[in-house]
Structure 1
Amino acid sequence: MSTYVKKPDWFTVNVLNRVIAWMTGRGVSVWGSRVLAVRGRKSGQWRTTPVNLLTVDGVQYLVAPRGHVQWTHNMRAAGGGELRLGKNVDVFTATEVGDDDKVPLLRAYLKRWKAEVGAFFNGVGPDSPDAELRRIAPDHPVFRITVKA
């Protein structure tokens, strides 16, 4: 498994993520944003972070543009969590997508959010060949989201 991680800078952690989380928490989605809540794999405490919810052919996914970060490790351990938008809370289970199946999902993610996250994909963009997207697939976990009824 890849160990790729692109840690956020001070501004992202202390300003940008807080602003996006605040707006999303009040029901204003910024380009598909949600607040992801997942239980910590060691503490069992809820951990939250803003994420971009990707929908492809009616199926929802979470893509980790910064790589194998804390929420991805927690998601693997917990097997799901909550996606929050204002007062709406969707409880879900998560299934990790295999590297070979990520190519169209990474392409769709980059088409939508390249301006925001493109720097984390090492020069690979939505118009890159499939082979390039497959090459970086191990660096970017993707989870299929199934909302519980």
Structure 2
Amino acid sequence: MSTHVQKPGWFTVNVFNRAVAWMTRRGLSVWGSRVLAVRGRKSGQWRTTPVNLLTVEGRHYLVAARGHVQWTHNMRAAGGGELRLGKQVDTFTAAEVTDDDKVALLRAYLKRWKAEVGVFFKGVGPDSSDEELRRIAPDHPVFRVVIEN
């Protein structure tokens, strides 16, 4: 498994993520944003981070643009969590998508959010070949989300 991680910079942590999370907690989705809540794999405490909820053919996915970050490790351990938008809380289960099944999902994700996250994909974009998308697939975990309520 890849260990690829791109840690966020000061601006992302202290300004951008906080602003998106603040708006999302108040019910204002920014380009499909949600606040992801997942129990920590060691502490058991809820951990939150803003994410983009991708919908393809009626199914929901979470893509880790920055790679194998803390929420992805926690998601593997917990098998699900909550997606929050304002007062709406959707409990979900999650299953990791195999690298071979990521190509179309990464393409859809980049088509929608390349301006925001494209820098994390090593020059690969929505118009890149399947081979290029397949090459970066191991670096970007993708989870299929099944909302329970």
Q: Structure 1 residue 26: deviation in Å?
A: 0.1
Q: Structure 1 residue 95: deviation in Å?
A: 0.3
In structure 2, the partner of 1:127 is 127
Q: For 2:6, what is the secondary structure of its paired residue?
A: coil
In structure 2, the partner of 1:63 is 63
* TM-score normalised to structure 1 length: 1.00
Q: For 1:43, what is the secondary structure of its paired residue?
A: coil
Q: Distance in 2 between matches of 1:12 and 1:129?
A: 29
In structure 2, the partner of 1:79 is 79
Q: Distance in 2 between matches of 1:114 and 1:147?
A: 25
Residue 94 of structure 2 is aligned to residue 107 of structure 1: no
1:29-48 aligned at under 5 Å gives the runs: 29-48=29-48
* TM-score normalised to structure 2 length: 1.00
In structure 1, the partner of 2:148 is 148
| Count of residue correspondences | 149
Q: Once the two structures are superposed, what CA deviation does each residue of 1:88-127 show, in whole Å capped at 9, x if it has no partner?
A: 0000000000000000000000000000000000000000
Q: Distance in 2 between matches of 1:123 and 1:92?
A: 32
In structure 1, the partner of 2:54 is 54
Q: Distance in 2 between matches of 1:100 and 1:118?
A: 21
Q: Distance in 2 between matches of 1:133 and 1:16?
A: 27
Q: Distance in 1 between matches of 2:15 and 2:48?
A: 15
Letter in 2 for 1:146: V
Q: Once the two structures are superposed, what CA deviation does each residue of 1:49-90 show, in whole Å capped at 9, x if it has no partner?
A: 000000000000000000000000000000000000000000
Q: Distance in 2 between matches of 1:39 and 1:15?
A: 24
Q: Which runs of 4+ in 1 moved over 6 A?
A: none
1:10-29 aligned at under 5 Å gives the runs: 10-29=10-29
In the alignment, structure 2 segments of 5+ residues that lack a partner are none
Letter in 2 for 1:117: V
Percent identity reads: 83
Q: Distance in 1 between matches of 2:96 and 2:115?
A: 25
